[in-house]
């Protein structure tokens, strides 16, 4: 079934249901992240627990969710939503490239420019997207999560690792060796090869028995909730401070980039359902990967920790505003 027909049949964006939809989409973020924050403030978990939960999501729950979800989609649904893939790439990949270029032109160092590009153009789809997009768009949300995850893990993260290594000051031979090793490690991650495998099987017309799909989704269903809870714990374990740079990063991530891409889509007369899918996905707060790379490479980590925290805290407001605005277009 084409995406417009899917949205029309469910009446997600029908007037009168807007308020309930906003509550259903935002409430899981507030409640689950809030529970994580409460548990962290009461010291019910060790500081390393959030890292363990993130590994559970990224290595098991999310790959299984993506694999089973993609295989459960009709091949026609994937093929008919090529525009979604293109515009998500414009936002995530084009946005990252433009931010890096702008920062370099302003004589910013390559490592800082790279991480700012990543923090602004990489939505936390594996964490918030799994829960929020499912409420908003139903079954088609797995396509958004898979595409966003592939762009991030196949292009954004390897490119960031490469640029950070080039900026590290190591001898040329060591830089390229380190880059190659990190790229190989990234491609071995289950969150990368699981959705690629599922896409290939789906497009070839190969289907798995429903019993197998159920087995894959059993743990996969925990991905969204566990990820949000881990994010709440993370908010209490890393100190952060607001600066003008942090606020600027968050404004560009939560508001600026989605607005720019939305404007381009309107100018290009892109169908409203495609706009809704792409813009709400891009409005998801920044991913943790920029913070992790900043800490690993010791590139002003305080800036990216604070950016991630503030982006997450104001996400219910900024995402809610985009959902409301898209419903009135």
pLDDT in tens, 186-241: 677 787 788 888 888 888 887 777 777 677 767 777 777 787 788 788 778 777 78
> What is the Cα–Cα distance from 230 to 49, expressed in whole angstroms?
8
Two structure tokens written together for 294: 């900043």
C-alpha closest to that of 253 among 108, 76, 156, 117: 117
**With pLDDT > 70 as the criterion, what percentage of the chain qualifies?**
85
pLDDT at 3: 47
Query: Residue-wise pLDDT tens for the chain (329 aa)?
Result: 444 444 444 444 444 455 566 666 677 778 888 898 899 888 888 878 877 887 788 788 878 877 877 777 777 777 788 899 999 999 999 999 999 999 999 988 888 999 999 999 999 887 777 778 888 888 888 888 888 888 887 788 888 878 887 776 666 666 667 667 767 776 777 877 888 888 888 888 877 777 776 777 677 777 777 877 887 887 787 777 889 999 999 999 999 999 999 999 999 999 999 999 999 999 998 887 787 777 777 777 778 888 888 998 888 889 888 988 886 43
Domains, the chain, in order of start with CATH, read 3-327 (1.20.1530)
Which position has the token pair 């000051």? Answer: 169
């Amino acid at each position: 079934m084409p995406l417009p027909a899917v949205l029309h049949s469910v009446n997600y964006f029908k007037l009168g249901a807007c308020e309930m939809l906003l509550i259903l989409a935002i409430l899981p973020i507030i409640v689950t992240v809030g529970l994580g924050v409460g548990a962290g403030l009461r010291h019910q978990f060790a500081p390393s627990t959030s890292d363990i939960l993130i590994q559970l999501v990224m290595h098991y729950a999310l790959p299984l969710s993506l694999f089973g979800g993609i295989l459960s989609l009709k091949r026609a649904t994937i093929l008919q939503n090529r525009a979604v893939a293109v515009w998500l790439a414009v936002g995530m990949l084009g946005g990252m490239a433009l931010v890096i270029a702008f920062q370099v032109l302003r004589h910013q160092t390559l490592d800082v420019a790279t991480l700012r590009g990543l923090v602004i153009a990489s939505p936390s789809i594996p964490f918030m997207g799994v829960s929020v997009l499912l409420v908003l768009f139903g079954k088609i949300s797995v396509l958004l999560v898979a595409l966003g995850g592939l762009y991030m893990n196949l292009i954004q993260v390897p490119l960031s690792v490469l640029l950070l290594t080039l900026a590290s000051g190591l001898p040329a031979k060591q830089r390229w060796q380190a880059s190659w090793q990190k790229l190989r490690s990234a491609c071995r991650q289950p969150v990368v090869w699981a959705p690629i495998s599922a896409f290939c099987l789906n497009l070839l017309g190969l289907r798995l028995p429903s019993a197998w799909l159920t087995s894959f989704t059993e743990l996969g269903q925990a991905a969204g909730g566990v990820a949000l809870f881990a994010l709440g714990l993370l908010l209490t374990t890393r100190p952060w401070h607001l600066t003008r740079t942090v606020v600027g990063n968050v404004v560009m991530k939560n508001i600026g980039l989605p607005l720019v891409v939305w404007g381009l889509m309107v100018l290009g007369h892109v169908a409203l359902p495609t706009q809704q899918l792409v813009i709400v996905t891009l409005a998801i707060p920044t991913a943790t990967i920029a913070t992790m790379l900043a800490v690993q490479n010791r590139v002003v980590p305080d800036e990216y920790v604070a950016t991630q925290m503030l982006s997450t805290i104001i996400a219910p407001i900024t995402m809610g505003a985009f959902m409301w605005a898209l419903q009135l277009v």
